[in-house]
Every structure is written in structure tokens, then in C-alpha cells.
Amino acid sequence: MRIIKRIGLGLVAIVVLAVVVLYAGSEWTLRRGYDVALTPVAVPHDAASIAEGARLAKITGCRDCHGANGGGAVLLKDPMLGTIASPPFSQVAARYSDAELLRAIRHGVRRDGSALFIMPTDAHTYLADDDAARIIAWIRSLKAQPTDSRETMRLGPLGRGLVLAGKVRPSVQIPEVSAHTRPADVGKYFVDISCAACHKMYEPSPAHHGNQIVPALAPIAAAYDPAAFRTLLRTGVGASKRDLGLMRMVAVAGMHALTDEEIAAIQAYLTAEAAKVPAQ
């Protein structure tokens, strides 16, 4: 009986130790500071710039995660993973300076220097200064609404375990790679700031959003005629006519805001990239 009691106490001690390690280790990762300097940004206030910022916020996926009207959203709620929620933009804008907003959008760093998670900064890091400023102008134009989400990010034990194991990584991008103004090659530019958040250029991306494999960008674009490619980006309906899941959601939520000229430039850039790869 005494041996069973000791075994039981030992198991309890192991569980307690595991919980402490899980919480302390994940908390260190979540609270770790990053030294990314603030960059001054000239935010416009005219209606045209705000409207363009609203359009860019669709194309770059800001409104996918933070709600169509920027009121925040719950992306996932699970007892083990936790609550994955995005805050209302009006709430963030009230606490952040323009330079702090720019750093959060482009580098994935919060006001206190800690990391943001699940932010597509591998694409947003290429946002030109003028376009980032337009998005900030749109964010600043939003007012708090009664319908804004009140949920906050809270990780459950599995979520913390994934952070501790490095399976969910900080969204921090330290190098400064953005241009001052939108580049002349808008095809490459829109691929960099939007498409690259999910796709790789030449190889399929690992499965996510269920079991969906994300195809390589260049060969897919080269396989479509211009009209079908416009349909794909505007509606998410591909050549096979089957439900493309994530692509359909992204197209309907944001990519439809691309102009015909921008879509043509994207396809021209990707087709040229596909031609660089020798046929297998």
C-alpha cells in the first residue's frame, strides 16, 4: 500500500513538473522581447488614401483575420488549443502610435517588444512604406462598434505545447526589406505581399487548413489562360471547378479587390518565373 502511495505521489509530482515546464517555457517564448527599431511613417488622411488602404487590407488578408470591418474575430476556439482571436483594429489603434502599428504589421512585434503569432509577416514585410501608411490610415479611420469582438488570445495546454515545441513560431521578421514606394513591378509586389503568405514559388506548401496541399504558385499561374486566372483570383474557382477551400475563402474575402491590370501583372510575373525552371 505504501509503495502504491509513493508511485501515486511520484506521478503527481511528474505531472506538476510537466505543467510548470509547459507554462514557464511557453510563457518565456510568448514574452520574449525583440529589438526591432521603430520606423517613422507619414500616414495620409485623405479619402482616396483611406479607400486604398481598405482595399489593400483586403488583398493582404488583414480583413480575413481581423473581420471584414476590422472589428476583430475568433479564428479558433478549442479547450486544448485555446482561443485564437484577433483584436478590433480600433482597440489596437487607440494604444499604438503610427510607427508601432507599422512595426506590428511588417515585423510582427507588439508595442512592448514581444512577438505576435499567426501574423502573415513573411508577406507583410514586403509592404512598401506608402502602402503600409495607407493601411494604417484606414485602421485609424475605424471607430469602435458594439459588435466588435471582446475575445482575447488565450492558449490552452496543447497550444502552449506547440509554442514550446516550436511548431507555432513567432511571426517576427527582423530584416528591413520593404521599398519606400510601391515598386513598378506590381506583379512581383502583389505576389510578395499577398500570395506568398500561403504559397511557395516552385514547390507545394505543406498541408494546412485541413488536409489541403497549397500548390506551387509559378506552375499554377502558367497553366491558366488569362480569363480563367482572373476567375481563380476573384472567386477561388479553378479549372477543375471543385471547391478549393482556402483559395475560395481568400479570393472571396480579399483577392477579388485586385484590378484586371494587377491580376495580369501577377500572372505575367509568375509565368516568367515558371519558365526559369527546366521541365522535369
Q: What is the pLDDT along the chain (280 residues), one digit of tens a residue?
A: 667 766 655 565 566 555 666 678 788 888 999 999 999 999 999 999 999 999 999 999 999 899 999 999 998 899 999 999 999 999 999 999 999 999 999 999 999 999 999 899 999 999 999 999 999 999 999 999 999 999 998 998 988 989 888 888 999 999 989 999 999 999 999 999 998 888 888 877 765 555 667 788 888 888 899 999 999 999 988 887 777 778 888 888 889 999 999 999 999 999 999 988 765 5
CA distance 149 to 228: 37
- Cα–Cα distance for residue pair 171/119, rounded to 1 Å: 6
d(CA 196, CA 59): 12
Q: Would you state the pLDDT for residue 244?
A: 75
**All residues at 6 or more sequence positions from 95 whose CB lies less than 8 Å from its CB, including other chains:** 111
* Distance set, CA 194 to CA 129, 154, 187, 244, 270 (Å): 16, 27, 11, 17, 13
121 closest CA partner among 28, 34, 17:
34
16-38: string of b/e by CB count within 10 Å (b at 16+)? eeeeeebeeebeebbeeebebee
Residues 6+ apart with CB under 8 A from 210: 245
Say whether 142 sits in a helix, a strand or coil: coil
Distance of CA 143 to the CA centre of its chain: 23
pLDDT of residue 144: 94
- What are the E-state strand segments in the chain? 73-78, 82-86, 154-155
What are the residue ranges of helices labelled H in 44-128? 47-59, 62-65, 89-95, 98-107, 121-124
Q: How far apart are CA 225 and CA 26, in angstroms?
A: 48
CA distance 240 to 58: 26
Beta bridge partners of 243: 237
Delimiting residues of CATH 1.10.760 domain(s) in the chain: 31-178, 183-280
- Cα–Cα dist 176/107, whole Å: 9
Q: Can you give the pTM of this predicted structure?
A: 0.89
- Residue 179, SS3 per DSSP: coil
What pLDDT was estimated at residue 26?
A: 80
- Output the pLDDT for position 114: 95
Q: Which residue has the cell 485541413?
A: 210
Count of beta carbons in the 10 Å neighbourhood of residue 65: 16
The pLDDT value recorded for residue 236 is 86
* CA distances, 135 to each of 45, 50, 130 (Å): 11, 7, 9
Q: What's the confidence (pLDDT) of residue 177?
A: 92
Q: What dotted CATH number matches 31-178?
A: 1.10.760
Give me the CATH topology for the region 183-280: Cytochrome Bc1 Complex; Chain D, domain 2 (1.10.760)
**What pLDDT score was predicted for residue 204?**
74
Helical packing angle, 129-141 and 98-107, nearest 10°: 120
